[in-house]
Amino acid sequence: MRITEVRVHQLSAKLKERFGWSLNWAQERHATLVEVLTDAGITGWGDGDFGGDKLIANPQLVIGRSPFAVEAIFDELRSPGGKQQRVGSPAAAGLDVALWDIIGKALGEPVWRLLGKQYRDRVQPYCTAMYRKDWPDLATGLAAEAMEWKARGYSLIKMKIGYGPEVDVEVVRAVRNAIGPETGLAVDSNCAYDAGTAARLGKLLEPFALLWWEEPLLANDYTGYARLREAFAIPLAGGETMFTDELIQHYVQPRLVDILQPDIEHVGLTGGRRLTYLTWLNHMRLIPHNWGTAVRTVSELHWAATIPPVSEGLYAPPVMIEFDRTESPFRDAVVAEPVDIGRDGKLPVPDKPGLGITVLPEAVESFRKNLIVIC
Ligand SMILES: [Mg+2]
């Protein structure tokens, strides 16, 4: 079996209602779906990058090769200059996922079986929502939204902060008071602060029993993160913008954060599998970041099925994935099988060959703003 063509579908869609966080306001959503075709008639899909200019200039790095060369292709596309350049840049992560999808379909096996040991067939999600909207009062609006997610069956919710320490304390208090102590609450400030400000804010947030604080600082403020780990008793999380090798060198080996949050968009399933093993060896939790289409969510379900628990304790912190519930016109429209929580609040891991989902080409085309074909 040989790869004959790569099609990169760049999607975008306007939102009905804008939402904001510490960096910006979103008026529209974007995503990239990578479709890989073979001479065996098997097609694979992934959500993420495709190798960019390097692949366009050197199509022979993929075209004509066996999909089973997935790991070689990942390394050749990711690391053009070895250690002399920024290691791990730019990952062909969506392409990588599509190759794993093809391999699974060719072998008649779900992707999780190819990645490692299956630890679970249902994965605990946490609900990502709780952005800023055009509410008259932010704290009241967020508290009401949190109650809606709780009523829909979510036991773990993440909210945005990063609006200045005083506002952050006010909104977290309002949400915690609304949902009560039994619902898990995490916060994400998208690199809003410096270490001094975050050290002060962390002490103020300690009473709210937060599951974690995500990206208090810029992703490369390694010294700052090391300071924060000693400054307050809230687990630190991060890593969503970084590539596999950067994460290993700067986050996993020094145990910079408590919870590593790589995104399949940047690490693919090949990088994800490496991170699974290294975080486990380094006693770190691994919770994949997820911001894309249902293809990405399903890819992360296969990955999360194979992530070992951080301890063997009966009450070990759960392995989970991020489940984005903000407005996205194409997120679920591009696949035939809806991805949603069951009555137990968990997401089922697909059991069919490959990723185990059906991408709908007409739906993809309806949201497509640009198509790149490599053959
Ligand atoms: Mg985040």
34 near 50, Cβ under 8 Å? yes
Helix axes 165-179, 138-151, angle to 10 degrees: 30
For 297-340, what is each residue's pLDDT tens digit? 999 999 999 999 999 999 999 999 999 999 999 999 999 998 99
What residues are neighbours of ligand 1 (ion), with CB under 5 Å? 188, 214
What does the pLDDT average to over 326-355? 97
What does the pLDDT average to over 272-289? 97
Rounded to the nearest whole angstrom, what is the distance from the C-alpha of residue 62 to the centroid of ligand 1? Answer: 32
- Answer whether residue 171 shows pLDDT above 90: yes
| The pLDDT value given to residue 83 | 53
Is the CATH number of domain 3-108+360-374 3.40.50.300?
A: no
Mean pLDDT check: name the lowest of 85-94, 163-172, 323-332, 354-363. 85-94
- Answer whether residue 91 shows pLDDT above 90: no
Catalytic annotation present for 289: yes
Domain regions of the chain by residue span: 3-108+360-374, 114-348
Q: Which homologous superfamily does the CATH classification assign to the domain defined by 114-348?
A: Enolase-like C-terminal domain (3.20.20.120)
Catalytic residue (choose from 30, 250, 266, 289): 289
| The pLDDT value given to residue 338 | 86
| The pLDDT value given to residue 86 | 47
CB burial readout 40-51, b (16+ within 10 A) else e = eebbbbbbbbbb
Rounded to the nearest whole angstrom, what is the distance from the C-alpha of residue 240 to the centroid of ligand 1? Answer: 7
**3-108+360-374 and 114-348, same CATH topology:** no
Rounded to the nearest whole angstrom, what is the distance from the C-alpha of residue 124 to the centroid of ligand 1? Answer: 18
pLDDT band at 75 (very low <50, low <70, confident <90, very high): confident
Rounded to the nearest whole angstrom, what is the distance from the C-alpha of residue 202 to the centroid of ligand 1? Answer: 17
**Residue percentage of the chain with pLDDT more than 90:** 91
Rounded to the nearest whole angstrom, what is the distance from the C-alpha of residue 261 to the centroid of ligand 1? Answer: 8
54 near 80, Cβ under 8 Å? yes
pTM of the model: 0.96
